[in-house]
Amino acid sequence: MKMLINVAETVVADALRGMAAAHPELTVDVENRVVVRRDAPVAGKVALVSGGGSGHEPLHGGFVGPGMLSAACPGEVFTSPVPDQMVRAAAAVDSGAGVLFIVKNYTGDVLNFDMAAELAEDEGIQVAKVLVNDDVAVTDSLYTAGRRGTGATLFVEKIAGAAAEEGQPLDRVATLARQVNENSRSFGVALSACTTPAKGSPTFDLPAGELELGVGIHGEPGRERRAMMTSREIADFAVNALLDDMSPRNPVLLLVNGMGATPLLELYGFNAEVQRALTERGVAIARTLVGNYVTSLDMAGASVTLCQIDEETLRLYDAPVRTPGLRWGM
């Protein structure tokens, strides 16, 4: 497989050096693998820290900035960051108002963030944690006990980040983050496998002419494999899977997310079918976001995330944000 890299061993460090050069509004510690908004710590503001394996960009480093995360900890490709990174990040951004750890439900992330929370509290930093587990495709997977954390991570980080930016206290920011997660559901589809730099070949076997329904963001198996389907058929399958697990009473936020190698031409066409499927089932859509936000290296495919919102969460979603991967209102 051809890749625009030097050697596999330096992929993450090289990416962080490039990120630092492109975004002077961030402080990027390449050696210690921590990305921090340059104005941190912000007096009186709850800090948000997240992280996970690299390969899902712009998640998480691309969501650091006003209105979202205070810091992010990138691990090696598809590998959890280590507790020292998280403690270093928490110390860099804590203003005394506390730190919220936002953790996707993958075993390594959960264990390491739990350990980091204990170490940070030993240093006098008040920490709260929120677990994101929005994927309805499977209950357990290769990487998790329970549901995987996927697209809802963006909504959690955006809405909780806006609340923190307003100066809301740690317990309220954490409650909002948990509420967003509980009101969110995701479902992903892979048209091709992804390729990690270290392996240099597809991470799983997906024959030509087939697709994986319910795939995870590391290529974990989903519900089933089928012969290739049309965009309309995939949209109906994904929406049915989501609505089998939730019954929105309020309007929803909709994320149609590319897995990394799907062109916007296809994603917008897929969004049209998702919009149709939701409208036919009586689901009102408040806002729509289309693009590559929670990716899986060079995987072709897409995921659909719905988040039921109320007046407050919609206001916080609409609040200004300025990060490398998401920006509006500023």
Catalytic residue among 109, 137, 218, 323: 218
Catalytic residue among 23, 33, 37, 56: 56
Instruction: Write out the two tokens for 188.
Output: 């992903």
> What residues does 210 pair with on adjacent strands?
227
Q: How many CB atoms lie within 10 A of CB 263?
A: 11
Using CB atoms within 10 A of its CB, is residue 21 exposed (0-12), middle (13-18) or buried (19+)?
A: exposed
Using CB atoms within 10 A of its CB, is residue 24 exposed (0-12), middle (13-18) or buried (19+)?
A: exposed
CA-to-CA distance for 14 and 225, rounded, in angstroms? 36
Cα angle, residue 59 at apex, residues 279 and 310 outer, rounded to 5°? 40
Q: Which helix (H) or strand (E) holds 224?
A: strand 224-227
Quote the longest CA-to-CA distance of the chain: 55
CA-to-CA distance for 8 and 14, rounded, in angstroms? 10
109 closest CA partner among 72, 157, 139: 72
Assign 100 to helix, strand or coil. Answer: strand
Count how many residues are written for the chain. 330
23 belongs to the catalytic site: no
> What residues does 258 pair with on adjacent strands?
302
234-260 CB burial, b ≥16 within 10 A, e <16: bbbbbbebbbeebebeebbbbbbbbbb
218 belongs to the catalytic site: yes
Active-site residue set: 56, 218
